[in-house]
Amino acid sequence: DGTDNGLTVDRAQELGEQFCKEHFPGHQALVCTHPDGHNHSGNIHVHIVINSLRIYEVPLLPYMDRPADTREGCKHRCTNAAMEYFKSEVMEMCHREGLYQIDLLSGSKERITEREYWAAKKGQLALDKENAVREAAGQPTKPTKFETDKAKLRRTIRQALSQAGSFDEFSSLLLREGVTVKESRGRLSYLTPDRTKPITARKLGDDFDKAAVLVLLTQNAHRAAEQSKAILEYPAAVKKLSQGEKTTKTTPADNTLQRMVDREAKRAEGKGVGYDRWAAKHNLKQMAATVTAYQQYGFSSPEELDEACSAAY
């Protein structure tokens, strides 16, 4: 805005003071304007810090819903309704002043807290220094981009979402990577192997909450169904030609039983906790399927099957 729309530090300070007087009456306040951010982007911005204790009674404002919200000696309540009101007022002020404005009311696809932001900055600096030392010593360098734990989790979730067509498949793909999906009161959270407390979708961003996940999974399922329909409608002549060229190939039998996974061997190969959890669930499913198959053909144990085979041959 400073370059394109003529915004100055003095004008930003003036707008900040006007906003503070209009929306925080009765509160002592400190309004400070910075000409730039820490990354030298030329981002003129205003900070408003208020004393939460009201020093005199004020009129009822649109975001207030209790008598105490106007009384002298009572504290300011920062409710969700108040925050939504303040955001809309900031957007209206920027629009009125002809300044650039992002949509503050539609949430954030990836919610990066200040703590995570600075952790990423410090981690990147440390990684750059380590890679410089490695390069000077002629050693191979590590990946050049540092990722926080939340950034890694977001990437893992996005990869699973790009492949899954149902919530069960989504959960299974994440479990292979060591991430357990939990749902409580209609909200999702994600538990990684190195944590005892799950990370809520709200802390990751709107793209990872239940509503967004289900929408994307539904889109994936529809896309897969359309692709299957297109294959079924493939021209008959071309289909016959392609079948004629593949006469040597055979269709595998439809067998629901699969091999058990040697978990101990896989751990020795270096497979992680996530894979081990998936393998444990896979083995249980195969054991259940095997018991069902025994019962289906009139056997109750592997020994009875061995006896029947011996008698037959």
In this prediction, residue 238 carries a pLDDT of 53
Question: What is the C-alpha to C-alpha distance for residues 55 and 84, in angstroms, rounded to an integer?
Answer: 24
Identify which of 123, 117, 118, 198 has the alpha carbon closest to the alpha carbon of residue 157. 198
Alpha helices (runs of H) in the chain, residue ranges in sequence order: 9-23, 80-96, 114-136, 149-163, 167-176, 201-204, 210-232, 236-244, 263-268, 273-296, 302-312
pLDDT for res 271: 76
- Per-residue tokens: 19: 């906003």
CB 241 within 8 A of CB 270: no
- pLDDT, residue 235, reads 58
Residue 201 pLDDT: 92
As a whole number of angstroms, the distance between CA 158 and CA 203 comes to 15
Two structure tokens written together for 161: 């979402």
Burial 185-220 (b: 16+ CB within 10 A, else e): eeebbbbbeeeeebbebebbbebbbeebbeebbeeb
> What token pair was written down for 255?
């067998």
58, 69 contact by CB (below 8 A): no
pLDDT for position 233: 61
CA dihedral over 74, 79, 82, 86, signed as positive or negative: positive
**What pLDDT score was predicted for residue 1?**
56
Beta bridge partners of 188: 183
- Residue 45 pairs in a beta bridge with 34
Pick the closest to residue 175 from 273, 270, 285, 262 (CA basis): 273
Q: How high is the pLDDT of residue 135?
A: 87
The pLDDT assigned to 185 comes to 87
pLDDT score of 245: 52
d(CA 286, CA 260): 7
Per-block mean pLDDT, blocks of 10 residues, the chain (313 long): 76 93 94 80 87 93 89 92 89 86 74 85 90 87 86 93 92 92 91 91 90 91 79 57 50 61 82 78 83 77 76 71
- Predicted structure pTM score: 0.52
